[in-house]
Structure 1
Amino acid sequence: MKLRYLLCLVLLLPLAACTVQVGGHHPNPYYAPPAHVEWRWDPGIDAYVVLGWPHLYYRDRTYYRWHDNHWYSSSRHDGPWAKGPKRMPPGLSKKYGKPGRGHGGGGY
């Protein structure tokens, strides 16, 4: 009898890891921003857009801010800000251009 239960468990265990996804929406693979800000996912820039804060984005526990033609980063939505993050989502670079070039824009 115990062998039968063990066999059922071994056969059903792989099914427990399966998930069914309905529709064409695929969740992004990054950490969600903290709940103290409102946001939306923008697949075009591969980052979250923080609503109510112009030119502020979030991805993988880092906030990115475009200000005076330069990128800044912080672990908090309200700073402190460090100039020139080492790594950033490539979509943000495409949206605003390279730092100091004076073009790009948009915001939410």
Structure 2
Amino acid sequence: MKLRYLLYLGLLLPLAACTLHVDEGRVYAPPPHVEWRWDPGLDVFVVLGRPHLYYRDRTYYRWHDHDGWYWSDRHDGGWHRGGKGLPPGLSKKYGKSRRAHGGGGGY
């Protein structure tokens, strides 16, 4: 049974190669419905045309200078306060003093 799944994966992976990013053995699917680029330093997808909007593992992360991090499962809203398991690269870029798991106000 496992052999069958490996065979299916081997057949499907070349078809998905243009839409997946593989980094140190992990596979990341890009965000749907937006233009993006992979940022290896941040280890996230950067959503093009939307300042401070990032995506990884089916979660969008948005930075607001005055209020900190928000997250959503959609690029266009439904924002929640806090980092929701903020990827380490984003914590490094924005600094620990900028409330990676808090905030107020928002999008």
* Fold shared, TM-score > 0.5 on shorter chain: yes
Report the TM-score when normalising by structure 1.
0.65
Describe the SS at the equivalent of 2:41: coil
Whole-Å Cα distance in 2 between the matches of residues 95 and 57 of structure 1?
A: 12
Note the alpha carbon deviations across 1:34-65, whole angstroms, 9 max, x for none: 0x210000000000000000000000100000
Aligned residue identity for 1:51: L
Q: Say if 2:22 is the partner of 1:27.
A: yes
Counterparts of residues 33-52 of structure 1 (less than 5 Å):
33-34=31-32, 36-52=33-49
Greater relative CO, 1 or 2 (CA 8 Å, sep 6+): 1
Unaligned regions of 5+ residues in structure 2, if any? 1-5, 15-20, 101-107
CA RMSD of aligned residues (A): 2.7
Query: Would you tell me which structure has more strand in proportion to its own residues?
Result: 2
Report the TM-score when normalising by structure 2.
0.65
